[in-house]
């Protein structure tokens, strides 16, 4: 069975975390729509969302559960924040993605049409992939749909961060590329996703 990859780069936080959140939520709405299309047209096809989403996997908790972020945990408080926001401005399509810690991913606190995705951050992967103002961030993602955990076709095996030289410097932070010297690699560390073929195929 083929894989579908959605390569995404959401709006950065330049201009303020909270001020730019609606732009990331608008992008999440597009991702939700595409996930729904795949489910309707090619049911059972595994989908992987990957890219720099400019939100941490635990962004909601970093804002103490008070901000309607584009990535939300499968948590009753997050569902309440969404419900309150939608009472003021109803949305025709969810403008967030639910991050589940379950394998396969599932959501318990949101309504129909909300797709839960598994994030390896905080489970298979620790630390971060981006270092900003002395703090590690988990803004680069692999988000995995249910079909990658059903025992047939492509299956999630593991994920890791390449946090060793030449990707990091002696102080353990990303080996940032310098246009002036032509040295370095990137301010983001690479992520690696490992898949295996399930026994069903």
pLDDT band of 200, cuts 50, 70, 90: low
The pLDDT of residue 145 is 95
Rounded CA-CA distance 124/137 in Å is: 15
Alpha helices of the chain — where are they, by DSSP H? Answer: 17-41, 59-62, 76-88
DSSP secondary structure letter of residue 187: S
pLDDT of residue 26: 95
- pTM given for the model: 0.92
Residue 42 CB burial class (10 angstroms; 0-12, 13-18, ≥19): middle
Determine the Cα–Cα distance for residues 182 and 187; give it in Å rounded to an integer: 14
Q: Which two tokens stand for residue 10?
A: 């959401």
In terms of Cα–Cα distance, which of 192, 73, 56, 64 is closest to 137? 56
Query: Mean pLDDT across the stretch 167-196?
Result: 96
């Amino acid at each position: 069975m083929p894989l579908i990859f959605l390569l995404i780069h959401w709006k950065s936080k330049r201009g303020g975390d909270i001020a730019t959140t609606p732009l990331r939520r608008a992008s999440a709405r597009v991702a939700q729509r595409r996930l729904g299309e795949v489910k309707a047209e090619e049911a059972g096809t595994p989908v992987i969302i990957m890219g720099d989403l400019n939100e941490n996997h635990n962004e909601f908790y970093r804002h103490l559960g008070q901000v309607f972020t584009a990535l939300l945990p499968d948590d009753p408080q997050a569902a309440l924040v969404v419900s309150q926001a939608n009472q003021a401005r109803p949305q025709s399509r969810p403008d967030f993605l639910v991050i589940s810690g379950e394998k396969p991913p599932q959501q318990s606190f949101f309504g129909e049409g909300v797709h839960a995705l598994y994030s390896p951050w905080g489970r298979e992967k620790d630390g971060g992939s981006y270092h900003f103002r002395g703090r590690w961030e988990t803004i680069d993602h692999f988000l995995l749909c249910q079909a990658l955990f059903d025992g047939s076709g492509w299956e999630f095996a593991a994920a890791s961060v390449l946090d060793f030289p030449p990707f990091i410097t002696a102080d353990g932070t990303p080996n940032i590329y310098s246009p002036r010297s032509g040295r370095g690699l990137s301010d983001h560390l690479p992520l690696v996703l490992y898949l295996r073929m399930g026994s069903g195929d």
